[in-house]
Amino acid sequence: MNTEKVDVLVIGAGPAGTVAASIVNKAGFSVKIVEKQRFPRFVIGESLLPRCMEALTEAGFVEAVTEKGFQEKYGAKFVKNGMICDYLFADQFTEGWNQTWQVPRAEFDKTLADTVEKMGVPVSYETTVTDIVFNGSDSVTTVEDVQGNPSKIAARFIIDGSGYGRVIPRLFKLDRPSNLPPRKALFAHTVDLKRSLVDEPNRITIVVHKPGVWIWVIPFSNGITSLGFVGNPEFFKQYEGSTEEQLRALIAAEPYLSERFKDVEFVFEPRVLESWSSTTDKFYGDGFVLTGNVTEFLDPVFSSGVTLATVSSQLAAHLVIRTLNGETVDWNKEYMEQMMQGVNTFRSYVMAWYEGTLDTIFFSDRQDPQIKKMICSVLAGYVWDLNNPYVKNHGTALHKLARTIELTELVGKM
């Protein structure tokens, strides 16, 4: 069997894999991506955050993505019982991007993969990693094509961006359960003919349906809107029948959406995803690094997935380049701790969301404009800005703020 040789093997051609491959390729190393599926392929995760623009810029992808005319996104709107809280990224504490996109991922991911291929990185589609053997930091990876024919790739370093495939954690038993409870999503793409009557397309809408159950509404520029319900698996048990029947019943039960999406056409049979939160012991090892969803995926509510995927890949790519250049890298300090800073900030916000703490803050009519800007920066993905007290003190600041709002409202009523 022939063994192909590269400096860096990247597993997965999603945002994580392509951003990493582009940056390492630009540094002059030979890179190859192996991707299990044929693109375009469906994946969920359509609302991006401004912070990912920095990684997309360094990877050289922004021009190609802009040319596709995806829906521009300027903020996020939260809705509950007729109350509205709008966050506009232009009005944020941290200096940075105030715009990003809402994207059908099949098209977006294909754009990134085609662009990295044009830059000179070969992408082998329908090529699945089945085994990896490490010899120190060098490795030999076995891949299989769709006919099941194996071949081997020798690499000096592996970047695992295999997303839900979790290649290295599964092969080397690094997976650990997440500390978040299991959740379920039921979603579809809809032909959104009544959009203009109800919503601005240039932001996503998050509707609080019931305590712990929420809905995403993500309009695309092609007239399709992504619509998904998320909650604990128990909540969905009261809805019976096909996924289409269940989603139609859920839409009818939500006053904010029922008129707009009544009898709406679904582009595909509504789909279900469950128990997606996962994590691993370590995001790196001798000769490999995990990036994107393989590291830790929390929850869809604040659209953190693609941002964490691209930012982790951007950072990892630079550390891989330094390693290949013979420099010593402190992976724990320079990678794991950095990434956990961002992940843990989002984790505090996800937990505060499901507890209802963020409801208290978002829907108060006493929001302090300066604090709103600080929270807006987190919602824009600037979760590494330690000058922002709502990043630095993410574990306590939201609870303190909600308590203050509750007390002020109580006093106001007396």
Ligand X SMILES: Cc1cc2nc3c(=O)[nH]c(=O)nc-3n(C[C@H](O)[C@H](O)[C@H](O)COP(=O)(O)OP(=O)(O)OC[C@H]3O[C@@H](n4cnc5c(N)ncnc54)[C@H](O)[C@@H]3O)c2cc1C
Residues that bind ligand X (CB under 6 A): 11-17, 34-37, 43-48, 128-129, 161-165, 167, 185, 273, 276, 292-293, 297, 300, 303, 305-307, 309
Q: How far is the CB of 231 from ligand X (least distance, A)?
A: 11
Nearer to ligand X, 271 or 373 (CB): 271
Q: Are 287 and 136 in contact (CB under 8 A)?
A: yes
Q: How far is the CB of 299 from ligand X (least distance, A)?
A: 8
Nearer to ligand X, 164 or 172 (CB): 164
Residue 195 three-state SS: helix
**Per DSSP, what are the bridge partners of residue 135?**
138
**Per DSSP, what are the bridge partners of residue 47?**
102
3-state secondary structure 307-371: HHHHHHHHHHHHHHHHHHCCCCCCHHHHHHHHHHHHHHHHHHHHHHHHHCHHHHHHCCCCCCHHH
How far is C-alpha 267 from the chain's CA centre? Answer: 22
Q: How far is the CB of 128 from ligand X (least distance, A)?
A: 4
Q: How far is the CB of 258 from ligand X (least distance, A)?
A: 22
Nearer to ligand X, 55 or 264 (CB): 55
Nearer to ligand X, 47 or 364 (CB): 47
Nearer to ligand X, 215 or 402 (CB): 215
Q: How far is the CB of 294 from ligand X (least distance, A)?
A: 6
**Per DSSP, what are the bridge partners of residue 129?**
143
* List of E strands, 89-145: 100-102, 123-124, 128-135, 138-144
Alpha-carbon torsion 120, 124, 125, 129, what sign?
negative
Nearer to ligand X, 103 or 361 (CB): 103
Write the CB contacts of 361 (distance below 8 Å, at least 6 apart in sequence).
367, 375, 398, 401, 402, 405
Rounded Cα distance, 78 and 256, in Å? 12
Q: How far is the CB of 172 from ligand X (least distance, A)?
A: 13
Q: How far is the CB of 254 from ligand X (least distance, A)?
A: 17
Nearer to ligand X, 39 or 331 (CB): 39
